[in-house]
Structure formats: C-alpha cells, structure tokens
C-alpha cells in the first residue's frame, strides 16, 4: 500500500453515536429471539435490566489528535534508535469514565515511527505487562525473521530486548506494529497495543511541503 494511501489498521478510535449503538443492541436482541434454543422466557426482563444502562455518550465532532512521534535518540544520520515500552495505562474515551488499556509509551495508538529507506533501526522493547509475554511484530515490513517479533520468540513479562534491522531500498510505505505473542495477540491489540510505522523514500517525488497525514482506526 502506498504511504499516501489509507492506513486502516491500528488504533485511533472510531466513535459511534448513541442512536447507532442502541440500534445495534436492538438488532442483536432481535437476532437472539430467532435463534434455536434461545428462549428468553420469563428471564427477559431480568436480562434486559442487566443490559439496560444504555450506551456511554462519546464525544463527536472534535478534531482528531496528532499521533505522537517517536523521538530518534541516535546522534548520526542513517540510524533510527528509540525505545518502546508496553505497559498498562488509563485513558478517558468518555467524560468521567476511566478505561484501563495497554499502551506503548503510555499512549494508544502507540507513537508514530518515521524512518527512511536505507536506515538501520534499533528499537529497545520493554515488556511491562504483568504476567504476559509480548513481542513487537513489524507488520508487512521486510525484516529478518529473528527480528520480526514472531510468536516463537517471546519477550517475558518484565524483560527487555532490542529489535535491529535494516530498511532496504524500495521499502517505502505505510506499515503498522503490534504484539504477536502466542495465544495473546488479539487481546493485546484490542486492548490498545498498535502503532503506525512510515518508511519514507530518500528521493520522494512528492514535495515535502505537502506532508503526510497518518490515520489509524479501530472499532
């Protein structure tokens, strides 16, 4: 996918209006009524009572926040060196409602990484998720298998490791990074662990004045 295309993979937040959420709930109940073996019977009032608090009011019509940029700690050109820590965090998607998540460097989506073709990338990863293995998988990027955060190469809870790889010529594009531990990938991603990685061409025919806009979505 071209880097000026649509990056629809990681973690910002697509917000649904309360009317749409309520309709989804009612549609779900209608489907349950028609499913074999699903007898709501005399328990319908009790079950609806448990669900009946209604959807949380989420903000609408506000500008999207900028993705934070992961700072390059290297002192020489051609090297991108940084740190990513996976750890619990708390955010507010709705007023007066705290939501526990997992975050890279305290934010979800994680920091935007920008590097160039030909760069060497060295990212120190710290897993601070209590009781869970994790990794960083560089989704779609041409990196060596032993640096790609696959399920067979986990980072234990409380442990650290460095991912190091070269970005070859022709690799410019939009990518995303996320954990890939065996049996925990989906949960760690939907709890908040994902971020965008943009590899830029050294000779870009599009003038830099136009810039890039990276969008990330989740449900």
In a domain, residue 44? The reply is no
In a domain, residue 134? The reply is yes
User: What is the count of structural domains for the chain?
Assistant: 1
**SS3 state at 26:** helix
Q: What does the block give as tokens for 183?
A: 């049996």
Low-confidence ranges of the chain (pLDDT < 50): 1-27, 29-50
Among 184, 91, 99, 88, residue whose Cα is nearest residue 127? 88
**pLDDT tens digits, one per residue of 41-53:** 444 444 444 455 6
Total number of residues shown for the chain: 219
**Are β-strands 97-104 and 113-116 bridged in parallel, bridged antiparallel, or unpaired?**
unpaired
Find the helix or strand (DSSP H, E) in which 61 lies.
none
Residue 136's CATH number: 2.60.40.420
| Residue 53 confidence (pLDDT) | 62
Structural domain including 116 reads 79-210
In a domain, residue 154? The reply is yes
**Residue 139 burial (C-beta neighbours within 10 Å; 0-12, 13-18, 19+):** middle
**pLDDT tens digits, one per residue of 183-215:** 999 999 999 999 999 999 988 888 889 888 899
């Amino acid at each position: 996918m071209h880097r000026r295309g649509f990056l629809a993979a990681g973690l910002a937040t697509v917000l649904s209006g309360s009317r749409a959420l309520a309709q989804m709930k009612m549609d779900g109940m209608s489907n349950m009524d028609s499913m074999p073996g699903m007898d709501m019977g005399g328990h319908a009032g009790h079950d609806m009572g448990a669900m009946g608090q209604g959807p949380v009011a989420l903000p609408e019509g506000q500008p999207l926040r900028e993705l934070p940029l992961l700072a390059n700690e290297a002192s020489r050109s051609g090297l991108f060196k940084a740190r990513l820590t996976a750890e619990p965090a708390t955010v507010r998607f709705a007023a007066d409602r705290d939501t526990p998540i997992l975050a890279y460097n305290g934010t979800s989506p994680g920091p935007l990484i920008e590097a160039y073709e030909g760069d060497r990338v060295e990212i120190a990863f710290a897993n601070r998720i209590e009781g869970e293995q994790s990794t960083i998988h560089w989704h779609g990027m041409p990196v060596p298998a032993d640096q790609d955060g696959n399920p067979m190469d986990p980072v234990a809870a409380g442990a650290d490791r460095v991912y190091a790889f070269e970005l070859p010529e022709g690799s410019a594009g939009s990518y995303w990074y996320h954990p890939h531990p065996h049996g925990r990938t989906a949960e760690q991603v939907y709890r908040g662990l994902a971020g965008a990685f943009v590899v830029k061409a050294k000779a870009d025919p599009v003038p830099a004045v136009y810039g890039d806009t990276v969008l990330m979505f989740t449900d």
